[in-house]
Structure 1
Amino acid sequence: MRTEVTDAEVRAPLLEFVTSLVGVALGPDEDYFEQGLVSSLVALELVTFVEHRFGLTVDVEDLDLDHFRTVNRLTAFVLAKLAG
């Protein structure tokens, strides 16, 4: 059974989900918080999606805005969490 997940396998669904949340196409390095596209409620939806989609738990100490600012940063966060 394959357990390793690639960057692309994480980035693609994250980019699709974030785009559906904010309603505009974004690049993987665009800061949707800085652009004012993400409210606290949308941020909570993003955390919930990450937990359910990738089967991980986002702990209180993980709730650093820098982890969630862009799709690429979020991808790196998910990959790090999955790696343990």
Structure 2
Amino acid sequence: MNTQEIRDSIRAFLTSFFPNLDVTDDQDIFALGFVNSLFAMQLVLFVEKKLGVSLDNEDLDIDNFRSIDAITRLIESKSVVKADA
């Protein structure tokens, strides 16, 4: 999956919960008030199940999930590690 496909998948996931969401890739979705603790867990599960990325405890830092760009970077970093392993 390339970077744009990852971003598109994340955006589709977010808009499935927030249909009127109009956020740029670098906007903080937590600061905008879209994310609560329950949704944060759903976001983690989405990354693991739908995008096939195994997350470790240290990956569960809020900064890794603040924006579409941050989530994309996390997925790409984990995918590189997985491919190298």
Greater shift, 35-44 or 23-32, is seen at 23-32
Counterpart of 1:71 in structure 2 is 68
1:6 to 2, 10, 15: 2
Identity %: 36
How far residue 58 of structure 1 moved from its aligned partner, in angstroms, is 1.4
Counterpart of 1:31 in structure 2 is 28
CA contact (8 A) 1:22 1:38 kept: no
How far residue 21 of structure 1 moved from its aligned partner, in angstroms, is 2.4
TM-score calculated relative to the size of structure 1:
0.87
> Pairwise CA RMSD of aligned residues?
1.2
Would you say how many aligned residue pairs link Structure 1 and Structure 2?
80
2:11 to 8, 15, 29: 15
Structure 1: distance between partners of 2:78 and 2:17: 23
Return structure 1 stretches of 4+ with deviation > 3 angstroms.
none
Structure 1 unaligned blocks of 5 or more: none
Structure 2 unaligned blocks of 5 or more: none
SS of corresponding position for 1:27: coil
TM-score calculated relative to the size of structure 2:
0.86
Report 1:45-64 matches (<5 A): 45-64=42-61
CA contact (8 A) 1:11 1:71 kept: yes
